[in-house]
Each structure stands twice: as structure tokens, then as C-alpha cells.
Structure 1
Amino acid sequence: MFHSFFPQPKAFFISATIWSIVCIFAWYFIGEPSAVSLGFGPPPADAQPPIGLGYFIMPDNLFFYAYFLLCTGLFCGFWNLKARNHPWANWSIWGSALIILVTYFGVQVSVAINNWRRPFGDLLQNALSKQPGVTVENFYSLIIIFAQIAFLSIFIGALTDFFTSHYIFRWRQAMNDFYMSKWEKLRHIEGASQRVQEDTMRFSSTLETLGISLINSVMTLVVFLPILFALSSYVSELPFVGEVPHALFWLAIFWSIFGTVLLAVTGIKLPGLNFKNQRVEAAYRKELVYGEDHEDRAQPPTVKELFSNVRRNYFRMYFHYLYFNVVRYLYVQADAIFLITMLVPTIVAGKITYGIYQQIATAFGQVSNSFQYLVNSWTTIIELLSIHKRLKAFEAAIDDEPLPSIDRHYLEQEPGTIHKDG
């Protein structure tokens, strides 16, 4: 799954994680102070950042872009030299780096829009309360600024989607070429054709989606946590608790950890059930395919038993998804009103304007959603785990190892199954 596309995947991903942590700490302890001393520091805390495209070319942002490119280039250059004989090195190393860079740009777009929300929200509040000095031109100018940010984001996003589609297919092609070179060992495994033809594509696309989401979550935390920390100065009191320093910061962490643990515990059985569902469907489909060419296959008793396995597993999935979805929907609905409930004392006291509330809501949502990575991705993670378990059987056959226990179980239990160890 990974060796076919990435060079030394275990070392590659471990080194990428360590290098990312080192670079993040180096930025805060070395890079940012150096930027300030060289005149590339951020504007004062009480200053309103530029609204619009000017945000992207602020001196502190330009300095960080250079630092980001330097760190990425050093890591990719090292691995490119180390894996120069790997056939997919350019796509796996430099392609992954490009996706990460564009993901960071997406976070920057979110910050630029969040900066825009405050003046627009305050202008809207002043207009609705009939304050003097509000003109039509004020609204049109802010709308044009938003359109500029949006159009830039759309242009970059479309190009990124085009590149990502090719990236995913290259990964699928790498797995397909690798598995087909070992086809004599693999073709006897239940559903081997489906695993090569379908599961490779689903695995690469699903893992790429989850990987981008994880990277986006980490980058969002790095960018928005300081913003939320600063916005906490407007909120000093919480319902039922009273005064809490940096209340918004701690609220986001608490609420996200609570949701993550809640849904992880509730959905703990789902990955295994999804995998079993693919197994029983594959066994049923394979028997029907054999029945097209052999009169003695796909006989009613055998087909009935195989379909009963499909029916039984689906009904178990429906039951477990029932209580999982109840808990998930309850949390999602509570999430929609959690922040505003916590802000009631601040709103009633008139400590914030509508524009500041918009900024708080956006920053809190960005931080909490990033911390809720497992919550937001849980169903996708379940699907990925089930696909991973199916492809692990290929890995075992290639390495002449025993099949995973769940594959051995179904080989023993399902009728009409033909298997010969590789």
C-alpha cells in the first residue's frame, strides 16, 4: 500500500512528523523573533490587519512563506537524493509537498476572510441600527474585497483539485503495478480482483482525503489558536463557571476532546463490521460469477447461505449505526448552539459588537473543528480501516505470511470459497 508509492514509508512519515515538529518550534523560538528583528514582524495587536489581498503580502506573512518553503525544500531535497531510484519519488515526495503548501494557503484564505468579517459585521450592525455615515459604497467596497479573496481561492482550488486527481491516480497505479507483479501469489485470495481494481483506488483517495484534512487541522490550529487566544480578551465570564482566563481557548479544547472521545467510544465496533461487510459481499459476488460458467456453482442452498451472511451483517451494521448516529447527531446539534450559549453573559453585557462576534465564531469554529478531526472524519476513517484490512491480506500473501485472522475465519466459514496459499 505504501511501499509501492513512497520510498521507505515508515522512515519517510516518521521523519516528516519529526521535521514538522522541529520546524514549528524553530519558527516560534527562532524564526518569528528573527522576523521581528529584521523588520518583518506582525502589526501591533490592537491594529486591524489589512482587509483583502493585502493580507497575503504582509511582511510577516512573506517572511513565513520563505521559511515554509525553505523547510519543505530541505526535507524534500534530502529524500529526493535518498530515493532517487524510486520510480514514484517525484510524485510521492514533491507532490505531497505541493499539496501541503496549497493546504496552508487554504488556511490563509480562512484568516483573510475572518479579518474581513469584523468590518463587514460592524458595518451591517451600524446600518441596521441606522447609525449615521453608512453608505452604499461602504458595502460594495467590502463585497468587492470578499470577491477578490474568493476568486483567488477558487482559482487555486480548481488547479489543486486537478493536480490531486492525478496524484491519487498515480498512487493507485503504483499499487496496481506492484500487486500485478505478484499476481500469482494473490489471485487465490477471496475477492482478489476487486481488491486490485477497486480497493486500491478507494484506499489512495480516502487516505489522501484524510491526510489533507489532518494537515489542514494542524495548520489551522497553528494559525488560529493565537487568534482565538487574543479574542479571548473580549470574553471573561462563562455561564455556571464565572470568570475564566482565556475562556474561548479552553472552551474549544474541552468541547473538542469531549466530542472526539464520545464518538470514538460509541463507534468502536464499526470498522470491523464494515470490513466484514466487504468480505461477505465479495464471497456472494464471487459465487455468482462462478455460477455464470459452472452449472454446479451458485446452487440455491449455497447462494441462500451466502446471502444470509450478507443480510445478517447488514442488519448488525444498521443496529450499531443507529445508536452511533443518535450520539453523532446530538453532538452536532449541541455544537451548533454551544458557543452562543457560552457567550450569553458577554453578549448581554454588550462587551462585543456583531463584527467581533463574527470573528469569535469563525475562530472558535476553526479551532474546535481542527481539534474534532476524529469526530469529523470518523466515518471516513472507518471506511479506510476496512479497506486497509482487505489489502493487508495481499501484504501477507506477498510476504508468505499467514493471512489475517478475519480472512482465515471467512475462508473456513463461507461455502463456495476456493483458496490456495501463495
Structure 2
Amino acid sequence: MNQNAEYSAVNDAVRGHFFRRVWQLIWPYWRSEEKGKAWLLLASVIGLSLFSVWISVWMNSWYRDFYNALQKKDFAAFTHLILYFCGIAAVAILGAVYRLYLTQMLTIRWRRWLTQRHFNRWLDNKSYYQMEQGGYTDNPDQRISEDLNNFTSDTLSLVLGLIRTVVSLVSFSVILWGVSGSIEVFGVTIPGYMFWCALVYAIVGSFLTRWIGSSLIPLNNQQQRFEADMRFSLIRVRENAESIALYNGEPNEKERLTSRFGKVWSNYWSLMKVTKRLTFFTAGYGQAAVIFPFVVAAPRYFAGKIELGELMQINSAFGNVQGDMSWFIDSFSTIAGWKATCDRLISFRQAMIDNEGHKPAIGVEEQGESLSVDNLNLDLNDGRNLLAGANLSVAAGERLLLSGRSGSGKSTLLRAMGRLWPTGHGHIRLPAGRSLFLPQKPYLPIGTLRDALSYPQPGDTYSQERYVQVLQACRLPHLIDRLDEGNHWQRLLSPGEQQRLAFARALLFAPKWLYMDEATSAMDEEDEAALYQALIDQIPGLSIISVGHRSTLKRFHSRHVRIEGGHLVNQNASAPSAV
């Protein structure tokens, strides 16, 4: 998906279905294996939120009694009310602390559950690989780490805030209706007129807020993406520091990073302008709300119909009702950010679902003891054909060398055997049993060298003696004393050492079938010969499929097949034929 059009594309895709899609993100947790603790925590947090509303209602009555005591200069009532306030305040503080604590506990538990589910979905069926190749989404790391964090915290904040607001609105509306009295306008008596003033005030404010801040949602979405893109570019510089330094590529990288930050800068300025307009309005709206109830209630006070305590109670009740009705105004920035986060998670989730539902065009199954490729066609993403009508059979124990010009499709054929190539048609039957792929650039996880050697198995799978043996066999004796050292081995070791370590991994795993994609390209010929011979000597009956260019590899393989003109050709054949 084109990144610059992602927001509009998602908006088009989910228009009319947004809340249904969000519900599909929310609901599974609340009926999962953790539902008991989740509902208990939610009920506790809601209960403490309602308790805080009760405190506010009580404080409204306290205002009336307190200001009446001040007006009457009743010191005994004043002292009693101060002590009463101290007791309730202590309870209110305790409730507020535990409301926050339990909310955070629920948030992190929900985030842990969602994160684990997204880990599973992203890693299963090789979705992480296919989504990168297809360009379905940008920055999945940000969506799993930041977006899920924001989603859980903002969702709970908005839902709990809305519940508290509704209960508070009902409670204070009853109070405001009762204390505000009625007013006659143009001969018409309006009961509970302060309530209607608060309602009109909040409705007008909400409409204007939505109109002024409507562009915050797409701008927030873009800001998150631009920030993630810049962070990814910085990580790329770190990962490829040596290559960039040797190329003297600093000016190019500066230009690239400056361009990335330019998008962050430009979009942030747009955010600032919209936020400035919105803040002008909301700040003015909030300041006017302080004085508005006094202005509206003043005629009754100066007419002697209410006392100072009742005036302050009306002001407090009006403030609560107006504030509750203005919940949308106060929460608009949070809602805008939440909507942008939901859009990104929805598109990410949909991309994973689409990948799961995508039926592979190339049939790959494990059966029997030999490798068979039947009428295989491999296509590039742009529709161009790479390999046509390929037929290949490799018996158990054979060692096959696959060569050809760069870009002819050698590595692509291996990817198809590894279920990684999505375009084309045909059938591949892989032999059942232990198999291992060695790519040109091995993956070495950050951790101990023992863990890197045994990957993807745990580090304690093999004995110390076995680790020592394979390191010696693969010409890495200088690493024996560092087996338990934790490090970033992919940065620390040279490309040749990394490839030799991958051979050591193969010796440990002892597969029946080994698929190697130019796995010795960074080695010299002497190391290459020693390591191939170690494989043949230490793993009897090993079947090997090697992709390589060097003629020195031929002596380690019983067969040699080239890819020429999009066809598999025997080394001595002059025309395309079945192999």
C-alpha cells in the first residue's frame, strides 16, 4: 500500500464499519482466558470512578453549607465543616490513588494480551516476511509497540471517562434543575433554566470544536507514520554503519534523514496551526464557563431569592453539568489520537488477515524421501516470468549445485522451496524429515554465542563438548571461550565468520536435507572447501542443494544444473530439458 495514501485508503475501507472493526480489536480480550480478572479489575475501576462522582456530589452540598456559614459568620459550623471535609478528602485521595493503580494494572494486562496475539499473528504463516515483500503496511514495529500501548490506555481512559461523565451529568443535572429555579422570558416561564443554559452552551461548544479540529485525526495519523519512518531510517544507518562509512555516504544519508525529518517538521507545523486554533477556542470556552453561571444566576441572587451558599452551589453544579456536557470538547485531542491509532491497527490487522487468507499459488508439501519440482513457473511481482516449466528431481543423498547468471532466479527457486515466494504456479514436493536453510546472510540473534549457534533451538540443546567440536571444525576456535558471552554477534563478526558460524549451526542440527543460498560467498576457497568437507564427513547421507557461482564448488556436488533463459538446463545440455 502506498504510504502517502494510507490514511485515505483506510478511511475508505472502513467508512461505516469503523466501530465494528474497533469492537473486533476490543472484545476478544474480554472473553479470553483472562476475562475473570479483566472484568473484576474493570468493575473495581468503575466502582471507584462512581465513588469519585459521589464525592463531587457531596462537595456540591458542602459548598452551599460552607458559604452560608461564612455569610452568617457561624464559627462552630465553619469548624465542623472543615473537619468533615478533611475526613472525606482523605477517603477521596485513597480512592483516586487506587483508581489510577488498578487502571494501570488493567491497561498493562490488556496490552500484554494484545501484544502476544499480534506477535503470534505477525510471526505465524511467515506473515512478517510476506507483508514486507508485499508492502502491505509500514512500520509494523511501531504498530505493535506504540500503537497497542496507546490503544489500550486511550480506550480505557475514554470509556471510563465517558462512564464517569454520564453518571456525573445525571447526578448534577438533577441538582442543577432543583436549585436553579425558573425564569420568565417574553412571558414564558422556563423551569430549571440553568440546566438549559448549560445544555445550549455545551452543544454550541462541541459543534465548534468538531468543526475547528476536524483535521487533527488525519494529521495525527500522518505524524505517527512520519516519526516511525524517521526512526527506521536512523536504525538503518546504525545497522549499516560500516558500509556507509566505507562508501563515504554521509552526505547522502544526511539528505535522506533531512528529507524524513522534513515530513515530520511540515506535518507538525500543520498540527500546531490546527491545535492553536482549537486551543484559542477551548481556552476561551473554558474561561467563559467560569463566569457564565454567575452572570446567569446573578439576577436571582441580587433579587434576594437565593443566598450566597445557594449561588455557589448553583455555580458548582453548573460547572459540573457544563463540564460533563463538554466532555467531547475536553477529550477531542485524545479522541483524535485514538482514532488515528485505531485506523493504523485496523489496517495492520486487515493486512495480517489478508495474508492468512491468501492461498499460495505454488503448492508445496512434504512427502517421501526425494525432492521433486513439477512444472514450476516463478513470476516477479511486476508480472514478468523468471522461470518457466521447471522440472527437477533430487534423490536422497544427492548433492546438487544450482548456478546461473545474477538475477536468473536461483535464490528465488530456493525461496519457493522454503514457502517464501508468493507468485507463480506449479508444485514442489519436499522430502519429509529434518531440513535446514542457510541464507547468504545468516541471522544471529542478540544474546549468547551459544544461543546464536543453536538457533532456532534453545542454547542448552547441545552439550558443551559438541559446541566446541563444531567451532573447531568450522575454523572458529577463537570463539570457544566466548560461548556464554552476550553480544550483538551480527555486528561483531565478519561476514566470513558469520557464514562459518552458520555451517557450525548446520553441523549441530545435522539435517537430512540442507539448502544453501550462496552460503560461502564471504569465505575464501580454502575455508569453503574445509566446511563443505566437514558437512559431508560428519553428516552421512546428507542431501545438499547449493546455489553458487564458484567453479570450486563443483567437486562437492554430484550434479550441476544451470538456469539459462528462464529454464533449468543440465551442465552438459545444450537446450532446455527436464532435469
Q: What is the TM-score normalised by the length of structure 1?
A: 0.70
Aligned: 1:153 with 2:92: yes
- The structure-2 alpha-carbon separation of the partners of 1:335 and 1:275, relative to structure 1 and needing over 3 Å to count, comes to same
Matched ranges for 1:382-397 at <5 A:
382-397=336-351
AA at the equivalent of 1:288: L
In the alignment, structure 1 segments of 5+ residues that lack a partner are 10-82, 128-133, 403-419
Equivalents in 2 of 1:368, 1:4: separation in Å? Answer: 32
Aligned: 1:236 with 2:183: yes
Equivalents in 1 of 2:138, 2:296: separation in Å? Answer: 54
1:237 and 1:247 in contact (8 A); partners too: no
AA at the equivalent of 2:55: V
SS in 1 for 2:27: coil
Deviation at 1:3, TM superposition (A): 5.1
In the alignment, structure 2 segments of 5+ residues that lack a partner are 1-21, 357-420, 423-579
Aligned: 1:169 with 2:126: no
Equivalents in 2 of 1:142, 1:376: separation in Å? Answer: 32
Equivalents in 2 of 1:95, 1:398: separation in Å? Answer: 31
- The structure-2 alpha-carbon separation of the partners of 1:5 and 1:92, relative to structure 1 and needing over 3 Å to count, comes to farther
2:117 to 175, 178, 199: 178
- The structure-2 alpha-carbon separation of the partners of 1:241 and 1:266, relative to structure 1 and needing over 3 Å to count, comes to farther
2:165 to 217, 228, 233: 217
2:301 and 2:308 in contact (8 A); partners too: no
Deviation at 1:142, TM superposition (A): 0.9
Query: Where does structure 1 differ by over 4 angstroms across 4 or more consecutive aligned residues?
Result: 1-5, 240-243
Deviation at 1:6, TM superposition (A): 3.4
Deviation at 1:393, TM superposition (A): 2.5
Equivalents in 2 of 1:5, 1:388: separation in Å? Answer: 11
1:236 and 1:243 in contact (8 A); partners too: yes
Aligned: 1:366 with 2:320: yes
AA at the equivalent of 1:236: I
Aligned: 1:345 with 2:299: yes
Partner of 2:154: 206
Partner of 2:201: 255
Matched ranges for 1:58-77 at <5 A:
none
Aligned: 1:376 with 2:330: yes
The alignment yields a C-alpha RMSD, in angstroms, of 2.5
SS in 1 for 2:331: helix
Partner of 1:45: none
Partner of 1:288: 234
Equivalents in 2 of 1:125, 1:344: separation in Å? Answer: 17
AA at the equivalent of 2:200: F
Partner of 1:139: 78
Partner of 2:290: 336
Aligned: 1:320 with 2:274: yes
AA at the equivalent of 1:342: V
Partner of 1:70: none
Equivalents in 2 of 1:255, 1:292: separation in Å? Answer: 54
Equivalents in 2 of 1:325, 1:193: separation in Å? Answer: 32
Partner of 1:90: 36
Aligned: 1:301 with 2:237: no
- The structure-2 alpha-carbon separation of the partners of 1:384 and 1:4, relative to structure 1 and needing over 3 Å to count, comes to closer
SS in 2 for 1:182: helix
AA at the equivalent of 1:262: L
SS in 2 for 1:110: helix
Deviation at 1:213, TM superposition (A): 0.9
Equivalents in 2 of 1:8, 1:173: separation in Å? Answer: 10
Deviation at 1:194, TM superposition (A): 2.2
Deviation at 1:378, TM superposition (A): 0.8
2:217 and 2:336 in contact (8 A); partners too: yes
SS in 1 for 2:288: helix
- The structure-2 alpha-carbon separation of the partners of 1:95 and 1:6, relative to structure 1 and needing over 3 Å to count, comes to farther
Equivalents in 2 of 1:302, 1:241: separation in Å? Answer: 71
Partner of 1:73: none
Partner of 1:63: none
Q: Deviations over 1:36-80 (max 9, x none)?
A: xxxxxxxxxxxxxxxxxxxxxxxxxxxxxxxxxxxxxxxxxxxxx
2:29 and 2:113 in contact (8 A); partners too: no
Equivalents in 2 of 1:106, 1:219: separation in Å? Answer: 11
Q: Mean alpha-carbon deviation: is it higher for 317-326 or for 258-267?
A: 317-326
Deviation at 1:92, TM superposition (A): 3.1
Query: Which protein is bigger by CA-based radius of gyration?
Result: 2
Equivalents in 2 of 1:241, 1:181: separation in Å? Answer: 69
SS in 1 for 2:46: helix
Deviation at 1:101, TM superposition (A): 1.8
Deviation at 1:88, TM superposition (A): 2.0
SS in 2 for 1:166: helix
Deviation at 1:241, TM superposition (A): 9.6
Partner of 1:193: 141
AA at the equivalent of 1:256: A
Equivalents in 2 of 1:353, 1:270: separation in Å? Answer: 45
SS in 2 for 1:244: strand
Equivalents in 1 of 2:25, 2:268: separation in Å? Answer: 33
- The structure-2 alpha-carbon separation of the partners of 1:4 and 1:170, relative to structure 1 and needing over 3 Å to count, comes to farther
Matched ranges for 1:36-51 at <5 A:
none
Equivalents in 2 of 1:350, 1:186: separation in Å? Answer: 73
Deviation at 1:94, TM superposition (A): 2.6
2:175 and 2:317 in contact (8 A); partners too: yes
Partner of 1:107: 53
Aligned residue-pair number: 320
1:281 and 1:310 in contact (8 A); partners too: yes
Greater share of residues in strand? 2
- The structure-2 alpha-carbon separation of the partners of 1:186 and 1:378, relative to structure 1 and needing over 3 Å to count, comes to farther
AA at the equivalent of 2:318: F
Deviation at 1:7, TM superposition (A): 3.7
1:237 and 1:346 in contact (8 A); partners too: no
Q: Mean alpha-carbon deviation: is it higher for 163-172 or for 308-317?
A: 308-317
Q: What is the TM-score normalised by the length of structure 2?
A: 0.52
1:231 and 1:360 in contact (8 A); partners too: yes
SS in 1 for 2:191: coil
Q: Mean alpha-carbon deviation: is it higher for 264-273 or for 200-209?
A: 200-209
- The structure-2 alpha-carbon separation of the partners of 1:175 and 1:216, relative to structure 1 and needing over 3 Å to count, comes to same
Matched ranges for 1:16-27 at <5 A:
none
- The structure-2 alpha-carbon separation of the partners of 1:376 and 1:89, relative to structure 1 and needing over 3 Å to count, comes to same
Equivalents in 2 of 1:267, 1:362: separation in Å? Answer: 28
Aligned: 1:119 with 2:62: no
1:5 and 1:171 in contact (8 A); partners too: no
